[in-house]
Homo-oligomer: A and B are copies of this chain.
Amino acid sequence: MIEGDASGESRRTARRGGASVTVSQVAHAAGVSPMTVSRVVNGDPRVSQATREKVDEVIRDLGYVPNPAARSLASGRQCRIGLLYSNPSASYLSEFLVGALAEAARHDAQIILEQCEAEADAAALVGQLRRHRLDAVLLPPPLCDDPQLVEALVGVGMAVAQVATGRPAEGAHTVCMDDEGAAAAMTARLIALGHRRIGFIGGDPRQASSQLRLTGYRRALAEAGIAMEAALETAGDYSYRSGLASCEALLDLAVPPTAIFAANDDMAAAAVAVTHRRGLDVPRDVSICGFDDTAIATTIWPELTTVRQPVAEMARMATQLLAGAIAGGAEERQAASDESVAFSLIARDSDGPPQRA
């Protein structure tokens, strides 16, 4: 009897830990019904300006925050997004996760990580996903390039977003960057700096991006009227080790290139290491450019001139697409959208004009 409403409140908090404010409390304080509060919170347009302001004020005063569990239970709309990954580089995954999680928080969506081997049986995988009650799936490379997997996922009615894929699938959302254009732009940059012999270190041929980047490189050369030379195109696989070997081969040429463009930063970093070991300076003797703008690009010295692939932004967009698709229901899910993000060239310290021999 010491506190008037203690019994009511203690009863409520008996089960729960936090004494959280509910719609009813807000409604009572604002002199409206809980439904109206709900409408205000959800931005329903059919609420008068006056009411909206009053409710908003009470919400602020009381520090009301909607309970997401109750919300998704009542509305029947929930949002669990699986992120299937196999073995992308740590920095890629990290940036991807940051983007996806940031957007997920805005939609009260949950991101569920799902490790998955590339060779896994698609059917078994789908079963696993259902067991986790996933409504949508985020597919970063290289998984996004597996047509069987994507098809199986779309087949069971899941919203699917392929990020940075080279093989857009029917019914799946895609968020891509113009890899070819970016590679062409970087090559053109080197040409503009005065380079005529530009070596290229290719990526893993099993990933679609590799081909696109090579094509971009060739296109830029062609547009500048520079003859292609097979010896200047070496085959890597996106690993540092392969970059080492490729760069050695390039520098061993009778007439070595004055610039090397690697299809990712790891290989570019390897090229820098090889070049240094040979007593050459970067960029004075050899210009070296990378691709992706991953952590290693700014870790090593000199910092790499590279193409910035906005991974976080792409993950964010993909997540948004999925959240929208889930909220919109089956109809909108059909209208899979293809978004594209802009790349940008990040000029740092690893390239410059060729040495005047």
A97 contacts B97, C-beta separation under 8 Å: yes
Nearest-Cβ distance from residue A84 to partner chain B, whole angstroms: 13
B17 contacts A77, C-beta separation under 8 Å: yes
CA distance A277 to B281 in the complex (A): 10
Contact of A277 among B130, B132, B277 (CB under 8 A): B277
Query: Is A237 in the interface zone, CB < 8 Å from B?
Result: no
Query: Is A205 in the interface zone, CB < 8 Å from B?
Result: no
**Complex interface: stretch among A2-10, A87-95, A138-146, A334-342:** A87-95
- Please tell me the size bucket of the interface on A: 35 or more
B63 contacts A240, C-beta separation under 8 Å: no
* A93 to B, closest residue via Cβ: B94
Query: Is A279 in the interface zone, CB < 8 Å from B?
Result: yes
A68: B residues at CB distance < 8 A? 69, 78, 133
A90: B residues at CB distance < 8 A? 90-91, 94-95, 294-295
B98 contacts A270, C-beta separation under 8 Å: no
A131 contacts B65, C-beta separation under 8 Å: yes
Contact of A17 among B20, B269, B270, B330 (CB under 8 A): B330
Contact of A78 among B69, B94, B101, B112 (CB under 8 A): B69
B76 contacts A16, C-beta separation under 8 Å: yes
CA distance A317 to B272 in the complex (A): 39
Query: Is A105 in the interface zone, CB < 8 Å from B?
Result: yes
Interface residues of A in 104-118 (CB under 8 A from B): 105, 110-113
CA distance A244 to B101 in the complex (A): 35
B94 contacts A101, C-beta separation under 8 Å: no
Query: Is A300 in the interface zone, CB < 8 Å from B?
Result: yes
Contact of A266 among B16, B94, B299 (CB under 8 A): B299
A residues touching B (Cβ–Cβ < 8 Å)?
A: 15-18, 20, 63, 65, 67-70, 72-73, 75-78, 89-91, 93-95, 97-98, 101-102, 105, 110-113, 130-133, 135, 240-241, 244, 266, 269-270, 273, 276-277, 279, 294-296, 299-301, 326, 329-330
